[in-house]
């Protein structure tokens, strides 16, 4: 079985060291995902750049985390679900909403529920979402911009979710309080 190194600022390729140092400053540690990404400095750079761009999307910080958690559920990403459950709480997402997203349940809030349903459809159907589903999303109060911002989020999380699946990235101790295991239907 191929194993992937979780690099630190000393073992990483030279081109990734500065980015890992930035991660350490931002988080207080280098997340294992970033350490795995460092094997490809370009992937690490792309992930961070798209994440920063997504942070400027048409979604507020809580809505961003809701979209990301919905994607993580669909992709069955144990690592990212654990990490972003804590980040979501810090962004103001309440615990019942986080728990619903972690279990794949519907949200009670109509507008946010439409956001989660649409996000799940985008991932499940690789973007081949029916026009009626797009219209239902828009009818719930979202804009065409948000349709495209969900696609941006899916691209962003594909990098991390797929990396975690292949590398079997170990969960950081800092995220262990929110450990999660994908349901059998979504796990790879």
Supply the pTM of this predicted model.
0.95
To the nearest 10°, report the CA torsion of 47, 57, 152, 133: 150
- The predicted pLDDT at position 2 comes to 85
**Backbone phi, then psi, for 60, in 5-degree steps?**
-75, 170
Contact 79, 164 (CB under 8 A): yes
CB burial class (10 A; 0-12, 13-18, 19+) of residue 49? exposed
For the chain, 188 residues long, give each residue's pLDDT as a single digit of tens. 789 999 999 999 999 999 999 999 999 999 999 999 999 999 999 999 999 999 999 999 999 999 999 999 999 999 999 999 999 999 999 999 999 999 999 999 999 999 999 999 999 999 999 999 999 999 999 999 999 999 999 999 999 999 999 999 999 999 999 999 999 766 55
- The predicted pLDDT at position 60 comes to 98
- The predicted pLDDT at position 79 comes to 98
Using the 8-state DSSP alphabet, how is residue 173 labeled?
Answer: G
Using the 8-state DSSP alphabet, how is residue 176 labeled?
Answer: G
**How far is 181 from 77, CA to CA, in rounded Å?**
8
List Cα–Cα distances, 186 to 59, 76, 119, 127, 167, in angstroms. Answer: 26, 5, 15, 18, 17
DSSP, collapsed to helix, strand or coil, labels residue 158 as helix
């Amino acid at each position: 079985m191929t194993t992937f190194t979780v690099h630190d600022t000393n073992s990483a390729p030279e081109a990734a060291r500065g980015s890992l140092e930035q991660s350490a400053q931002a988080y207080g540690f280098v997340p294992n995902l970033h350490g795995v990404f460092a094997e490809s400095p370009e992937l690490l750079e792309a992930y961070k750049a798209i994440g920063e761009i997504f942070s400027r999307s048409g979604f507020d910080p809580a809505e961003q985390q809701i979209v990301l958690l919905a994607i993580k559920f669909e992709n069955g990403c144990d690592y990212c679900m654990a990490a972003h459950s804590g980040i979501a709480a810090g962004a103001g997402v309440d615990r019942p909403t986080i728990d619903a997203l972690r279990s794949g349940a519907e949200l009670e809030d109509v507008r946010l529920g439409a956001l989660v349903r649409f996000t799940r459809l985008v991932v499940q159907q690789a973007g081949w979402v029916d026009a009626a589903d797009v219209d239902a999303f828009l009818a719930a109060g979202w804009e065409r911009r948000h349709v495209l911002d969900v696609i941006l989020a899916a691209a962003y999380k594909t990098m991390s979710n797929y990396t975690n699946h292949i590398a079997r990235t170990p969960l950081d101790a800092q995220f262990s309080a929110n450990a999660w295991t994908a349901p059998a239907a979504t796990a790879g």
